[in-house]
Amino acid sequence: MPNPLKLAVICSSNMNRSMEAHNFLSKKGYRVQSFGTGDKVKLPGAAPDRPNVYEFGTPYDDIYQDLLQKDRELYTRNGLLHMLDRNRRIKPHPEKFQSTTEQFNLILTCEERVYDQVIECLEGRDSQTTPVHVVNIEIQDNHEEATIGAFLMCELVSMMANSDDLDNDIDELLQDFEAKCQRPVLHCLLFY
């Protein structure tokens, strides 16, 4: 039987953490989409004060080609070209959460600021009849942490998917998960 959970994984730019989790969860058979909540898509540049900035909706392939042209060696060394290559095999372009009309039963965020932006967005929507659990797991924005975060998210989703009554079990599931992974977890139930 297919899993009834419909998931969203969300970070700031829909590039690293959310895409690693999207990739991992979809390979495990979950129905998942990924998004970012930032104003723009930002990637490290040649200097800390000069990031590469793109609009949401810019194809991953265009970003890949742009970085390849700017400095193949730098962006190969720092892993951005590899990350973008993965991303373009998953979906066409980064998507902004605030622009979607999709509905989910579970939204996973990767940092508290993104969690707050998701809650603000959902609270501002008109219809308030669909329940959604919003859960945040703190994941640093680097390649190694994104991989660890994807495993953690998959473990949490697996626990939730195996629950017969998620609404009743979620507090205990999250307590167990938080104790096991030793990371702070935020949770709220919203209707949108």
Summarised one tens digit per residue, pLDDT across range 110-150 is 999 999 999 999 998 877 788 899 999 999 999 999 999 99
pLDDT in tens, 44-79: 999 989 999 999 999 999 999 999 999 999 999 999
Q: What is the pTM of this model?
A: 0.94
- Name the one residue in this structure whose structure tokens are 């372009």: 93
Q: Could you state, in order of their start, the residue ranges of all structural domains in the chain?
A: 6-38+96-191, 41-90
**pLDDT score of 1:** 43
What single DSSP character describes residue 135? E
**pLDDT score of 3:** 61
Mean of the pLDDT values across residues 181-192?
A: 91
Mean of the pLDDT values across residues 81-99?
A: 97
CA 135 to chain centre: 11
CB distance 67 to 106 below 8 Å: no
CATH dotted code for 6-38+96-191 = 3.40.50.2300
